Structure 1
Amino acid sequence: MASPLSSPRSTPDPDFADLIARRPHLQAHALDGLVMEEVPLVHIAREVGTPTWVYSAGTLRRRHGALRDALAEAGLDASLHFAAKANDSLAVLRVLAAEGAGADVVSEGELRAARAAGIPADRIVFSGVGKTEREIALALEEGILQINAESAEEVERISAVAAAMGRVAPVSLRINPDVDARTHAKISTGLAENKFGIAYTDAAALYARMASLPGIRPIGLAVHIGSQITEGMAAYRAAYARVAEMAAALMGRGLPVERLDCGGGLGIPYRDEVPPSPAALAGAIKATLGPLGLPVMLEPGRWIAGPAGVLLASVVLQKRGQNRRFVVLDAAMNDLVRPAMYEAWHGILPLAPDLLHAPLAPADVVGPVCESGDTFARGRDLPDLPPGALVAFLDAGAYGATMSSTYNARPLAAEVMVDGHRWAVTRPRQSHEALLANQLMPDWLGARA
């Protein structure tokens, strides 16, 4: 399960020094306070305002490289395809494209973003349970690497679209191995009760049918059992063993299997979790799928981008309740929804150097949205935070900006990338005028004021 906002724990929350020490792209400077790479975050907050997402290019490169190197050291013929749903910023995608990463996309928008960022079409995988005919046609026009089909109905749809276009679609069949990844129920994808993939018992017959359909070239199997997996390799090994068994059976029947898609899901330490290492994941893949001698693909998202991002926010006020202190921020659940949706835990650090060493007291950290669920943390030990004080939410680089909304008519936050001593705005803050610009007034209601 995701770490809760507030619940009895066997260990205390990590302190500020520990949170910083575990994140090599962050440092606490005596004069500049919290620094990302070589840029004081307070400089960004003062020039760009808050809320603002900030991403570390160096961290993206380092984490992609660590996973790539672990796979190579295990002797695997492997490729990485970043899950764009975790972070579809063009700047983030461009950094990873330069490192040789492909993309895993689940919509036309993500496909277009990946291409705009410079990711070659032949390094893009299209996943997802509800691809439209328009999206399938676009994928074929672009010439992407493969489409992961998730149902018999979708296989028929891909065949019809491809045949009508005079194209042949490279299709991998996503199987549902019915394996419990022991993650949060809302990000579990490998159980029989989940909407994803083909039931294992139905997969062989459907794969054989794919081979007989016009417009389809079966190329392999895919599996993805969930996100934020932190409890060892058992679930991965169980899922990959089922994939290996199925692939061997298909090849034994003379059906083509060119490669295997291992999905993603490797977790990160938001609080004090100790997730499996890239080397452990590579070892699980080699032990289960290695004997087949087939190329493998991985689709990491959170593991690469999560630690690379922070969300900067300003304190609006501190509200003293009867029994509680509330720190009210200008960031809200429309910006970072993970705590409201998953009861997820994010480290919260003040930016100012003096506040990093000030006395602490419990506080509830909340946003201004008119929902009780607009709560980031309960009973979190924090210093006195006067109006205007700046804080950073850690590990917000994945499923942060991509899940944000304009609820309460709140404009989307700005985005910034840091790369060594350089930094630049990569998405300007949405204006209130832009928020309303695309709305139309029916003529019978009169002109808009």
Structure 2
Amino acid sequence: MTIPHPALYAAAERFGTPLYVYDAAELDAALSRVRAAFGEARVFYAMKANPNLTLLGRLRAAGVGFECVSAGELARAEHVGARGEDVLVNGPAKSAQEYAAGARLGATFIVDRAEEPGLLPPRSRALVRVNPALAVSTHDHLATGAAGSKFGVTLDQAPEVLRALREAGHDARGLHVHIGSAIRDAADFSAAFARLAELHPHTGDLEVLDVGGGWGVDADLPGIAREAQAAASVFGARLWVEPGRYLVARAGTLLTRVVGTKQTGRPFVLTDAGMTELLRPMLYGAQHPVTALWGGGEVTRWDVAGPACESGDLLARDVPLPGPTPGDLLAIGEAGAYGASMSSSYLTRSRPAEALWDGTGWTLIRRRETPQDVWAAEVTPA
């Protein structure tokens, strides 16, 4: 993130904290890195990473399509003008509403189980998601290509599912694989692509090979891209990719103020943001960089803890900080993905505002909720 510290202070003063801020330049740069690595591959943004409409509109204007996993995400895609081959419908348990919405938009469906050819709307475009049954270098909850995960069909099932799609009158475009998120080792992708290539004798040439996303923010994209392109060439297929976290993680920062400090068995700095604003540390053991936006004082190590009455409400452990005092501002990095999108109103906490930095100034792209917003959908009996 390249937003200068004075601008971050200005945002915190103007919009309050906790606050999600996004750097437009970093979002654009991440997309440029993907396109430089993958060349002519078609890019679909995995919307679950961050569905803010302003960010979606920016990606849409750059020619990016969307991978959607719910009726709500499909509605967002339609709202920013995406239709037809610019929309993918994914998920292991699609509802009738989601099939109908996808059909109305003319989307491509990613088939996740053997029964699904009989559930698709008539004459659908489809890809078959294959589970390569690999152990990969990420948290178990993020490993979607493991043998025990709920995603995809087996390698043995994939050719038959392609045949079933064609026999049902659908346009079976090709294969799809996504082995997880925040994957650190490029060899995991090489292994997955190699297993897909083994299917060629049983499938013949295909129109599309969709290799998903899941690359860590420090991944060797050119190396991964070479492996993906080699796999696509085996099938004579066009390459599709679905980055989510890679595009938006480093573009986003969570700003939070210090509420106070305390010492129990460990030293804690208490902040006004916590698990309701950034769930990943509690859910996945994710480690986010933490930067103190103040100077001075002896540097000692602190656990950064939020306000929820939950022992797991920790944003980071053993963070070196220079003498935190109430009101000081912390920047939690790599929060552009699965920060706002996983935020919650647990404890009737109001979800934070979101703001976009364009290099010269701030634009509010989501206002802070009020308590009334949180309970607006509740029905009080007369």
Q: TM-score band, normalised by the shorter chain? A: over 0.9
Stretches of structure 1 lacking an aligned partner (at least 5 in a row): 1-22, 28-33, 269-274, 444-449
Q: 1:422 Cα shift?
A: 2.4
1:81 aligns with 2:48: no
Distance 1:247 1:139, change over 3 A: farther
Provide the rounded CA distance (Å) in 1 between the counterparts of 2:111 and 2:234. 25
Shift of 1:203: 1.3
1:117 aligned partner: 80
> Whole-Å Cα distance in 2 between the matches of residues 292 and 151 of structure 1?
22
Are 2:103 and 1:149 aligned? no
> Post-superposition shift, 1:322?
4.4
Go from structure 1 to structure 2 and tell me whether the alpha carbon gap of 1:324 and 1:103 turns closer, same or farther (over 3 Å shift).
same
Shift of 1:228: 0.5
Where does residue 218 of structure 1 map in the other structure? 172
Q: Aligned equivalents of 2:19 and 2:219: distance in 1?
A: 30
TM-superposed CA distance for 1:120, in Å, is 4.0
Instruction: State the aligned residue count.
Output: 382
Q: Which residue of 1 aligns with 2:12?
A: 45
Contact kept in structure 2, 1:187 and 1:226, CA below 8 Å: yes
TM-score normalised to structure 1 length: 0.82
What is the Cα deviation at residue 350 of structure 1?
Answer: 2.1
Q: Which residue of structure 1 lines up, in the alignment, with residue 380 of structure 2? A: 441
Q: Output one character per residue of 1:30-65: Cα deviation in whole Å (capped at 9) or x when no partner.
A: xxxx25xxxx10000001001110011111111101
Residue pair 1:176, 1:196 contacting (<8 A) in 2 also: yes
The residue number in structure 2 matching 1:262 is: 211
Write out aligned runs for 1:231-380 (5 A): 231=185, 233-251=186-204, 257-268=206-217, 275-319=218-262, 321-352=263-294, 355=295, 358-380=297-319
Amino acid at match of 1:155: P
CA contact (8 A) 2:258 2:329 kept: yes
Q: Is the 8 A contact 2:134 2:192 kept in 1?
A: yes
Question: Does the 8 A contact of 1:223 with 1:263 survive in 2?
Answer: yes
Partner of 1:304: helix, strand, or coil?
Answer: helix
Q: What letter matches 1:187 in structure 2?
A: L
Q: Which residue of 2 aligns with 1:208?
A: 163
Cα pair 1:266 1:276 within 8 Å, conserved: yes
Q: 1:371 to 1:242 in 2, by over 3 A?
A: same
RMSD: 1.5
Name the CA shift for 1:385/1:397 in 2 (closer, same or farther; >3 Å).
Answer: same
Corresponding residue for 2:340?
Answer: 401
Give the number of the structure whose alpha-carbon radius of gyration is greater: 1
C-alpha distance 203-323 of structure 1, shift in aligned 2 (>3 A): closer
Amino acid paired to 1:60: L
Give the Cα separation in 1 of the matches to 2:264 and 2:350: 33
Match of residue 191, structure 1, among 146, 166, 177: 146
Amino acid at match of 1:397: G
Paired residue secondary structure (1:437): coil
Structure 1 residues 344-384: Cα deviation after superposition (integer angstroms, max 9, x where no partner):
111111223xx2x5431111110110000001122211111
**8 Å contact 1:241–1:289 — kept in the other structure?**
no
Q: Work out whether residues 229 and 239 of structure 2, in 8 Å CA contact, stay in contact via their aligned partners in 1.
A: no
Q: Deviations over 1:137-161 (max 9, x none)?
A: 11111112x1101002222111xxx
Q: Which runs of 4+ in 1 moved over 4 A?
A: none
Supply the distance in 1 between the matched residues of 2:273 and 2:84 (Cα, whole angstroms). 36
- Give the residue type in structure 1 aligned to 2:159: A
Could you tell me how far 1:217 is from its partner in structure 2?
Answer: 1.6
SS of the counterpart of 1:225? Answer: coil
Distance 1:383 1:171, change over 3 A: same
Give the structure-2-normalised TM-score. Answer: 0.96
| One of 48, 52, 55 as aligned partner of 1:92 | 55
Q: Indicate the percent of aligned positions where both proteins have the same amino acid.
A: 35
Contact in 2 for aligned 1:237/1:288 (Cα 8 Å): no
Q: How many Å separate the matches in 1 of 2:233 and 2:187?
A: 17
Q: Distance in 2 between matches of 1:45 and 1:345?
A: 23
Structure 2 residue runs without a partner (length 5+): none
Check if 1:68 corresponds to 2:35: yes
Distance in 2, Cα, partners of 1:309 & 1:277: 21
Cα deviation, residue 118, structure 1? 3.1
- Helix, strand or coil: the match of 1:85? helix
The residue identity in structure 1 corresponding to 2:365 is: T
Contact 2:41 2:240 in 1 (8 A): yes
Q: Work out which of the residue numbers 79, 94, 107 in structure 2 matches 1:131.
A: 94
Give the secondary-structure state (helix, strand or coil) at the position aligned to 2:302.
Answer: strand
SS of aligned partner of 2:30: helix
How much does 1:197 deviate? 0.1
